[in-house]
Amino acid sequence: MMKGFSSFIQNIDEEQQKKIDRSAFLYLDPVEPENEFAQCSTCYHFLPGKQRCSLFGKNDKVIADASCGLYINGEPRDDQEITNWITPKQAGYVLGQVRCENCHHYEDSKCMLFDYINEKMSDTFDLDVNVDSKGCCNGWQKKQMNEMSVPAGTTGKRKQWNPPMVGIRMASGKIEKHPPGKSGSSGGGGAGNGGGD
Ligand code: SF4
Ligand code: SF4
């Protein structure tokens, strides 16, 4: 009896000592059709003919090229109830192609956000940084332009585009500000489903 109890406690200890993996970010590998993966057009909750989501309200228009944090891969169909269960804002509804290939943190089949978090919080996180270009996760951030040009003929000067800084909570509890994406010396970003077209 005592032996059973101590192995139960040991199991809990081992469970608590496990580092957090990328499932915490809801990373998903793609399924066919990969070019539509993670979009409403391949989501179980989508009503394609009505341009609605079964989770939102009846007046909330939803388009095939959008996505949200409640995506479930499946067959869209119009014969489902519109439940008004959550608002688009609460679900993180975004317009745009939300796969890794279009994410600010994606670089050569690697997720630089995961890489950054591993580096900064190695005691807590062990995130697999190898991602599929057609995969996705809740840390997706729309790719930023590094530089913007003013229209030709107005002035010859090029404007620098400074991406917004994002906050990330360190193991100490302190929030540090970093530019999103790009690990190592150039910093990284915090998780969150944001952006849009
Ligand atoms: S809004 Fe979200 S849950 Fe609704 S159809 Fe699109 S991806 Fe699915
Ligand atoms: S943060 Fe971006 S690149 Fe990294 S797994 Fe999520 S979607 Fe892919």
Pocket of ligand 2 (CB under 6 A): 27, 100, 103, 105-106, 111, 113-114, 131, 135-137, 139-140
Model pLDDT for residues 172-190, shown as the tens digit of each residue: 556 555 554 444 333 333 3
Q: Ligand 1: residues within 6 Å at CB?
A: 40, 43, 45-46, 53, 55, 62, 66-68, 70-71, 91, 93
Question: Based on the domain organization, do 140 and 80 belong to the same domain?
Answer: no
Residues 114 and 140 occupy one common structural domain: yes
Handedness of CA 117, 120, 123, 124 (dihedral sign): negative
In a domain, 1, yes or no: no
Whether residue 23 is contained in a domain is answered as yes
Do 24 and 77 lie in one domain? The reply is: no
Point out the ligand 2 atom lying closest to the alpha carbon of residue 135: 8
Q: Please give the pLDDT value at position 150.
A: 46
Counting from 1 in the atom list of ligand 1, the atom nearest the Cα of 67 is 7
Look at residue 174 in the predicted model and tell me its pLDDT: 60
Decide if 68 is inside a domain: yes
Q: Specify whether 91 is located in the same domain as 138.
A: no
Q: Does 54 share its domain with 74?
A: yes
Q: What pLDDT, in 10s, does the model give residues 49-95? A: 999 999 999 999 999 999 999 999 999 999 999 999 999 999 999 99
Residue 21 CA to ligand 2 centre (angstroms): 14
Question: Residue 42 carries which side chain, given as an amino acid letter?
Answer: T
User: Is 7 inside a domain boundary?
Assistant: no
Same domain, 105 and 75: no
Over residues 115-119, mean pLDDT: 97
Q: What does residue 173 show for φ and ψ, rounded to 5 degrees?
A: 95, -15
Backbone phi, then psi, for 113, in 5-degree steps? -70, -45
Q: Which DSSP state fits 165? A: P
Ligand (nearest to CA of 74): 1
* DSSP string covering 88-147: HHHHT-EES--SGGGBTTEETTEEHHHHHHHHHTTTTB----B--TT-B-TT--BPPPSE
The residue from 50, 76, 96 where one domain ends is: 96
SS3 36: helix
Is there a single domain that holds both residue 25 and residue 112? yes
Same domain for 164 and 87, yes or no, is no
Q: Which atom of ligand 2 is nearest to the CA of 114?
A: 4
- Protein residue whose Cα sits closest to atom 6 of ligand 2: 137
> Which atom of ligand 1 is the closest one to the Cα of 38?
7
Cα 31–chain centre separation:
17
What is the count of structural domains for the chain? 2
Domain closes at, from 96, 125, 142: 96
Residue-wise pLDDT tens digits, 7-47: 666 666 666 678 999 999 999 999 999 999 999 999 999 99
Question: Is residue 90 domain-shared with residue 159, that is, in the same domain?
Answer: no
> Which residue range forms the structural domain that includes residue 170?
19-29+99-197
